[in-house]
Every structure is written in C-alpha cells, then in structure tokens.
Amino acid sequence: MTDQDTKKRSPLKGFIHHQGKSIEESGKALAGLLPQEFRDHAANALDEAKTSWQVLFDGVIDTVDAGLDKLRSTSKRDDPGKEKVQIEIEAE
C-alpha cells in the first residue's frame, strides 16, 4: 500500500484495514508454529463440525416443512367457507 492510498482512506477505515491485516498476520504466525499434520486434522475436524450442523439444520427444516404442508392440507379440507350449515331460527 502506498502513502497515497493511506491518505485517501478515512482514519476509521484505515484503522479497520490495518487491524484486519494485523489479525491475518497473527493467524499466519500461529499457523507457522503448528505442525502441518495438526493443521490438516484441525481443518478436517472443523469441516466435520460444519457438516454435522448442516445435517441437523436440514433435518429441522425438512421437519418444519412437512408439518407446514400437513397443516396446509388440513386447512384446505376443513375450509369452513365451503360447508353448508343449517340454521334454525325460533320465532318468539
């Protein structure tokens, strides 16, 4: 980044940009301390955790959809606007 790029940026945006770069570089430094095999297994563990949450949420969505479909089909069959009702009126 050149000095001109830094001068064009507002102080807050510059701060945020440099904080992001700092976090990125810190992550690279920590990753450099860990053996490659550990990083590979950690990445696989994170992928499996992500997959397990996706499976759980997909199951919840399917269950909710099935329940909503059941409610929708029940409400169509039991539509009170289409039933004939006989009313008796008593005269006094």
* pTM over cut 0.85: no
CA-CA distance, 92 to 77, in Å (whole number)?
38
Q: What does the domain layout of the chain look like in residue ranges?
A: 9-74
pLDDT at 40 over 80: yes
What percent of the chain stands above pLDDT 70?
82
Q: Which residue has the higher pLDDT, 76 or 73?
A: 73
Amino acid at 88: E
Please provide the DSSP assignment of 12-79 as one string.
HHHHHHHHHHHHHHHHHHHHHHS-HHHHHHHHHHHHHHHHHHHHHHHHHHHHHHHHHHHHHHHHHHT-
CA-CA distance, 51 to 57, in Å (whole number)?
10
Using one digit for the tens of pLDDT, what is the confidence trace for 43-64? 999 999 999 999 999 999 999 9
Length of the chain: 92
